[in-house]
Amino acid sequence: MVLAVSSCRTYRLPRRPRLGFIIRPPHQLLSLLLCPGLRIPRPSVLCAQPRPRAMAIFSSSWELPLVAVCQVTSTPDKQQNFKTCAELVREAARLGACLAFLPEAFDFVARDPAETLRLSEPLGGNLLGEYTQLARECGLWLSLGGFHERGQDWEQTQKIYNCHVLLDNKGSVVATYRKTHLCDVEIPGQGPMRESNSTIPGPSLESPVSTPAGKIGLAICYDMRFPELSLALAQAGAEILTYPSAFGSVTGPAHWEVLLRARAIETQCYVVAAAQCGRHHEKRASYGHSMVVDPWGTVVARCSEGPGLCLARIDLSYLRQLRQQLPVFQHRRPDLYGSLGHPRS
C-alpha cells in the first residue's frame, strides 16, 4: 500500500485552524493531511479551514486524540465485509488513531428480513469474536455501529436488536446500545423501509462512555432525527455523539449533513457519523458521506466517494471553551417547556 501526501496550498492564519484529515480509499493513494489550513485540489473532499477567531485555542494539535471514521459498502457476505472493515481498522491504527468508527450494518446488509434474521448472531458469536481480536491486535477502541444481534429473547421473539457495540483496546465490550427509534418509513424514490419487521426497539439509552477521545454518547442512524436523545446524552456528559448510519439515496442529500450539524450545534458536541455507501445489492444502496462535525457545527473531515476512511482530531479544550462562551445549557427555560432531553428516572 502506498501512502502519499496530497499537494496543497497553505494559508497564513492568525489562529490555529480546525483539524480535519481526508483519507482516500485504501486501494488507492492515501491523502494524509497533517498540514493545517490546507486545501486539497479535489472537489469531493473537505479539509481544514479556519475557525472564527473568537473560537480559537492554542493547544498543540499533535497532542490531540485522533479518530478514524470508516465508510464501507456492506453486502450479505459477512466474511468479505469483515475483511474490508479489518483493512480499514488496521490502516486507522497505522495512522495513529485511538478509536475507529464503523457504520450501521457493518456486519452485513441483507436482501430481505428473512435473510437478516438468518445471518444474525448473538454478541457472543463468531463475528464479534473476530472484532474483539482485531481490537486487541490493533490496540485501539472500536465503535461497531449497528450489529444485528440475537438477544436473550431470540427464541421467544424470533426478532433481533440493532446493537451499537463499543469495544476497548483490549477487545472487551465496554458498552452496548440497542437502537430505540426504528426506521419504518415510505420515501418516494427510495423504497419502503420496515425495520420493525425484523427488529425490536431498544428499551433504554446508554450513559456516555469515557474513551481516549472523550465521553461518547451512542446512537444509531434514524436516532439523529430525535433531538431529545442527543440532548439527553449531552446533559448526561457526552462530548462526542456518534451516529453510525445507512442513509438512503433520497434522504441523504436532503437531510444527512444538516441533521448532523444541527445535533452538533444544539448539544455543543463533536458528532461522528460513519456511513454505508454505494450499492449493497440489487435492492438497496446507501448515500455515504461519512463525516466529523465539530461543536461549532462545521464539518472538519469527510470521506470521499466509495469505501475508505477519514481522520479528525478531537479537541476537548475547544469544546469546553465554546460551551463557556456560549452557555446555552445554562440558559434553558424548563419552567416554560419542561426538561426536554432529560432521561427519565
Q: Annotated catalytic sites, by residue? A: 104, 179, 221
C-alpha cell at 283: 435492492
Which of these, 117, 146, 116, 119, lies nearest to 131 by C-alpha position? 146
Could you write out the DSSP letters of every residue in 234-300? HHTT-SEEE--B---TTHHHHHHHHHHHHHHHHHT-EEEE-BBEEEEETTEEEE---EEE-TTS-EE
In whole angstroms, how far apart are CA 68 and each of 133, 233, 324?
18, 22, 28
Q: Write down the number of H helices and E strands in the chain.
A: 8, 19
How many CB atoms within 10 Å of residue 48? 29
Tell me the C-alpha distance between 12 and 65, whole Å. Answer: 24
Tell me the C-alpha distance between 219 and 199, whole Å. Answer: 16
Tell me the C-alpha distance between 252 and 19, whole Å. Answer: 25
